[in-house]
Structure 1
């Protein structure tokens, strides 16, 4: 991977860390009733825009696997943010997208684990319960599932930030 694409990928890790932390804290109920869905949507949309720009550089470098993994995450950010900003949607279709994206994250994680990329596989495996439990929450409306997804998401957010920091100082995690 070229230097520009590597930098863009590291930016994607940082943004993914911030987004998963925000998603985690909101789903765990941090902030209580002060969390406005439209504000939440605007923050997620900002991340989607930034990640789309970074993704373009990864695609330009023809880093197919990296671009595909990032695209799955970026797609979710776009869908969730638009639905939250527009409001009035039941987001039921998005629950299907969350579920199927969880499956693809499991496949990505397995692939990276097989190739010895331990830290990134852990991060990707954490995205599986985030997406699956968020989809179950959407199907059932039970807040417990959102809180479980929130815990996994917050942990994953911190892991993404560690990965981004390590990459920014030139350290490659196992």
Structure 2
């Protein structure tokens, strides 16, 4: 397999981009207050990474995306007293509660569009999204955040030239 075109590590609390709600005046607003900081964190990580690639232009070809969201464990997963920092044996290995992986992915892909990773997230033709707890897998971070990998699916006919 080829190397990813882009690998990002995003620090922050993954948040879902879900339903919109209307207030009394009829204005629409995002139902999750956490989505704006998450989208900004993703956008900032992407812009920082892309700033090192002077030849980067928004992708306009099919891409594959893999995202691993690391979520904080709830406090009740830990022991008490001298075991306060130890995960209980009865604690689940995989997060099954909120946020929903599909809505969190939606917020993440939209932020990558805003950052100029691709022209539109409709170019994402293959997507794998995973939720994990800290240190629970190869891409699980030690704190909340995400690891994002983007692959080009087309084989380039020649190396793109870049003005120096």
Q: TM-score, normalised to structure 1's length?
A: 0.28
- Structure having the higher helix fraction is 1
Which fold has the larger relative contact order, with Cα–Cα distance below 8 Å and residues 6 or more apart in sequence?
A: 2
Q: Greater CA radius of gyration, 1 or 2?
A: 2
* Higher relative strand content: 2
Normalised by the length of structure 2, the TM-score is 0.29
